[in-house]
Structure formats: C-alpha cells, structure tokens
C-alpha cells in the first residue's frame, strides 16, 4: 500500500476508520442499508442549516460532475435559460454540460483571479428577462479562489431566479446556510470536505422547485427528479445500483466530522493549514497566485520562483518519494502548481512538507 498523503482537493487522504467500514458488504434492497441512506440525507440537510419539508437531499451515483449535470439537465427546463458565472475550469464545465445537453445558457466569465460580481449578475438579469436560473462555483479549485456566493444569491433571489451552486470543494469545510444565502440547489460530493471516498455526489434541493421538475430531465440515469422520487417513495432506495461501500464510508465520515467539532472545527483546521502553507512556501520563494482577500482554505496555487531551473515533475517526484502528493497547475495564463490541504491533513503535515520542499531546493541548487 502507498505511504503518501494526498495534498489535493479530492480524492483526499481518508482515515483508517473510514476505509475500514468498506470491508462490510450490503445489499441495496436491505432495510438496514436504506436506513443508512435516509440518515445521510437528513444529516446533510442539517449541515446546510435546512430541513424537510422546505429542502430535501438526493444522492446521485458518480462523481461531482455527474451531480452538477443532473441538476443542470433536470432543473433548467426546455423554456428556461441559465446564467453561468464562471472564473475557472469548473464554472466553464457547466457551459460544456449545457452545450452537450442543449440547455440554453449565457456565460459571464471573469479571470481566474477575480470573483464574479453580484452587481454584474444583477445587470445580466435586468437586461435579459429570459434568464430563469443562475449557476456558479463556490470554491473554484482551478485557482483556489472562494467566490461570494451569498452576495450573488441575494441578487438572484431579489430577481426571482433559481440559484444553483457547485459547492463541491467547500461543503462540509465551510459553513453554508442554504436558505440564508438563497441557494435552491447545492451540489457536492462524497470525497471532498466530509472526507469520504469517491463514488457519489449529493444535491441539497429546494423541495418545491425540485417537485416542479417532473418529466423535464434530459437524461435517464441523471434524472434528479426521478432519483429523488425513488428515494422518497422507496424509503432510501436508490433507483439503480448504488456504491454501497462508498455509502458506508460516507456514513462513517459524517460521524467523524461531528466528532471533530462539526464544520466550524474542520474549517478552522483547514484555515490553519492554508495559512501555514502560504507563509512557509512564500518564505521559500513561491508566491501565492491569488490575493489573500479572495483565497479560499481548500487549495492554493503557487507561482514558481523567479529563475526556477527545476520542473514540476522533478519537484513532484522528490516530494512524493518523501510522503506527499502535490497537484499540477490548472490556471492557464500563469506557470503554477497547486497544494491542497483538506482531508486528514494537519499543521504538522504542512510543516513536514515545507521542510521537504526546502531540502529539494537546496539539492537542486547544489546540483547546478
């Protein structure tokens, strides 16, 4: 088995106890298993500060992108149009989904280091009455920027629009009060801040708005309405084969989130990890790509030092051999790499990583 930790935005390093529960097999029809699904649904709503009957939770097989696609292709009807506010690859992925599925959309794009502005969103909505939905990413891991979802949600609600948020890399690690922020549909996945393993995404949905989507999905397997009805009417039964072992791991991960102190405690740990990371890497000559005012606590993009003579692959291999895995850069206009600090990562890991990087730089310089 590998002996390194993942410094990525998910999949991430999980606890031994989360991995251990996957040793048990379950039948998807079994009442015990369905009760686990129902418990997870209720706990997710509680984490979002909402509850039945105003909101409901739906679990969807597949990666986070499957969940985003299920929302966009079910919730945005044939006569609707969605405004996508994007500042990175994952916001732009929403446009790819819409284009492939024939969903009408308008793109409001910002550079990777700048947030979409609520005032500009309001202008789009005022100038185009055909727009019925607004969609955006909360934590855009292309750069690590944390977008102002609350401000955009306020504008969307004031205009009477449905608000969709991709909170893939933030839900469970940053407190998100759905109703207060005007969020109608929030998407995240099992292998992010709740610290489970990959295999399903989940959607927290305004129940009334979801109920109005019957029959308009553009996909069979990603029909969010039918998935919800199946779970509602079947007491936690998934429509198609569910990732049973992943569900058990997620159930355990939720218990461990609560034991840690809930979202506030986990957010504090991630914040401290990120602060130490930025401080120590900057001291070694790696400038953070983002302004600290918009930097999120999940993943940080770093620019290479002036005149660097090493490649990412060389640095990556050196650090991996000593216990940690970094993430390639995603920002296209800058030469960067990324370091995540969610999952079972603690300040001592950041300090160890920083020492390894310092050794790498010394050895590289000595070899010149």
Answer yes or no: do 217 and 93 share one domain: yes
Last residue of a domain, one of 223, 258, 293: 258
Residue 9 belongs to some domain of the structure: no
Q: Is 31 contained in some domain?
A: yes
Q: Check whether residue 182 and residue 252 sit in a common domain.
A: yes
Same domain, 157 and 296: no
- Specify whether 213 is located in the same domain as 335: no
Mean pLDDT of 293-320: 94
- Asked if the structure places residue 107 within a domain, the reply is yes
Neighbours of 17 (CB within 10 A): 12
CA distance 140 to 91: 8
Q: Look up the domain containing 145 and give its range.
A: 16-258
Does the pLDDT value for residue 310 go beyond 70? yes
Instruction: Characterize 183-198 residue by residue with b for buried, 16 or more Cβ atoms within 10 angstroms of its Cβ, and e for exposed.
Output: bbbbbbbbbbbbbbbb
- pLDDT given at position 78: 96
Start-end of H helices in the chain: 16-20, 31-47, 64-75, 89-101, 118-127, 149-158, 207-211, 224-233, 244-260, 262-283, 312-320, 347-366
Q: How far is CA 225 from CA 77, 194, 349, 356, in A?
A: 12, 25, 42, 49
- How many Å apart are CA 249 and CA 254, to the nearest integer? 9
Planar angle of CA 309, 303, 120, nearest 5 degrees: 155
The closest of 107, 176, 105 to 147, measured between CA atoms, is 176
Average pLDDT of the residues in 48-76? 98
Instruction: Copy the structure tokens of residue 174.
Output: 């940053």
Give the tens place of pLDDT for each residue, 193-211.
Answer: 999 999 999 999 999 999 9
Give pLDDT tens digits for 329-342.
Answer: 888 778 899 999 99
Same structural domain, 110 and 237: yes
For residue 178, CA distances in Å to 100, 187, 295, 358 come to 29, 11, 22, 42
Task: Look over the chain and give the mean of its residue pLDDT values, rounded to a whole number.
Answer: 96
Q: Does residue 357 share a domain with residue 239?
A: no
Label the pairing between strands 82-86 and 133-137. Answer: parallel
Local structure of 330: helix, strand or coil: coil
CA distances from 160 to 122, 124, 126, 308, 360 (A): 11, 13, 11, 51, 54
Structure tokens, 5: 């930790």
- pLDDT of 106 > 60? The answer is yes
The answer on pLDDT for 50 being more than 70 is yes
The rounded distance, in Å, linking the Cα atoms of 234 and 232 is 6
| 3-class SS of residue 144 | coil
Does residue 72 fall inside a structural domain?
yes
Task: Tell me how far apart the alpha carbons of residues 31 and 35 are, in angstroms, rounded to a whole number.
Answer: 6
Nearest alpha-carbon partner for 240 in 217, 216, 215, 223 = 223
Out of 243, 258, 273, pick the residue that ends a domain: 258
- One domain, residues 160 and 178: yes
Q: Is the peptide bond before 53 cis (omega within 30 degrees of 0)?
A: yes
Number of domains in the chain: 2
**Per-residue confidence band for 243, with pLDDT thresholds at 50, 70 and 90:** very high
What mean pLDDT is predicted for residues 354-363? 97
Q: How confident is the model at residue 1 (pLDDT cuts 50, 70, 90)?
A: low
> Is residue 8 assigned to a domain?
no
Q: Residue 10: which pLDDT band, with cuts at 50, 70 and 90?
A: confident
Residue holding tokens 């010394």? 362
Above 70 in pLDDT, residue 2?
no
Q: What is the pLDDT of residues 124-163, one digit of tens each?
A: 999 999 999 999 999 999 999 999 999 999 999 999 999 9
Asked if residue 135 is part of any domain, the answer here is: yes
Q: What is the CATH number of the domain that holds 300?
A: 3.90.1150.10
The whole-number average pLDDT for the span 39-63 is 98
The answer to whether residues 332 and 241 belong to one domain is no
Q: Please, which residues have CB within 8 angstroms of residue 126's CB and are 6 or more apart in sequence?
A: 159
Q: Do 190 and 49 share a structural domain?
A: yes
Q: In angstroms, rounded to a whole number, what is the distance separating the alpha carbons of residues 246 and 19? A: 9
Prediction pTM value: 0.96
Domain presence at residue 60: yes
pLDDT tens digits, residue range 252-284? 999 999 999 999 999 999 999 999 999 999 999
- The verdict on 184 and 235 lying in the same domain is yes
The lowest-confidence range among 33-42, 303-312, 314-323 is 303-312
Q: Which of 204, 237, 258 is the last residue of a domain?
A: 258
Same domain, 313 and 235: no
Does a structural domain hold residue 5? no
Mean pLDDT of 179-185: 98
Report the CATH number that the domain containing residue 159 is assigned in CATH.
3.40.640.10
Tell which residue, 55, 84, 62, 28, has the closest CA to residue 222: 62
Q: Are residues 330 and 266 in the same domain?
A: yes
């Amino acid at each position: 088995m590998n002996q390194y930790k993942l410094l990525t935005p998910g999949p991430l390093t999980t606890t031994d106890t989360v991995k251990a529960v996957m040793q048990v097999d379950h039948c998807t029809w079994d009442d015990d298993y369905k009760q686990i699904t129902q418990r997870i649904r209720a706990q997710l709503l509680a984490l979002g500060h909402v509850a039945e009957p105003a909101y409901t939770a739906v679990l969807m097989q597949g990666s986070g992108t499957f969940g985003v696609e299920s929302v966009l292709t079910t919730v945005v009807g044939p006569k609707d149009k969605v405004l996508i506010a994007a500042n990175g690859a994952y916001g732009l992925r929403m446009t790819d989904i819409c284009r492939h599925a024939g969903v009408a959309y308008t793109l409001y794009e910002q550079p990777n280091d700048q947030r979409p502005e609520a005032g500009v969103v309001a202008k789009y909505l005022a100038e185009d009455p055909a727009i019925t939905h607004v969609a955006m990413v909360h934590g855009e891991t292309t750069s690590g920027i944390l977008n102002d979802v609350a401000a955009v949600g306020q504008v969307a609600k004031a205009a009477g629009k449905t608000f969709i948020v991709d909170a893939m890399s933030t839900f469970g690690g940053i407190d998100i009060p759905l109703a207060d922020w005007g969020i109608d549909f929030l998407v995240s996945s099992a292998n992010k801040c709740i610290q489970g393993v990959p295999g399903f995404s989940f959607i927290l949905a305004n129940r009334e708005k979801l109920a109005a989507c019957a029959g308009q999905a553009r996909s069979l397997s990603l029909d969010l309405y039918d998935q919800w009805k199946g779970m509602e009417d079947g007491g936690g039964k998934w429509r198609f084969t569910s990732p049973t072992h992943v569900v058990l791991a997620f159930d355990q991960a939720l218990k461990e989130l609560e034991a840690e102190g809930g979202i506030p405690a986990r957010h504090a740990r991630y914040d401290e990890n990120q602060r130490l990371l930025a401080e120590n890497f900057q001291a070694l000559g790696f400038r953070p790509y983002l302004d600290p005012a918009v930097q999120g606590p999940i993943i940080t993009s770093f620019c290479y030092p002036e005149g660097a003579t090493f490649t990412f692959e060389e640095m990556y291999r050196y650090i991996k051999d000593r216990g940690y895995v970094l993430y390639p850069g995603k920002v296209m206009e800058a030469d960067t790499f990324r370091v995540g600090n969610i999952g079972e990562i603690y300040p001592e890991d950041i300090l160890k990583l920083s020492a390894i990087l310092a050794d790498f730089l010394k050895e590289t310089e000595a070899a010149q």
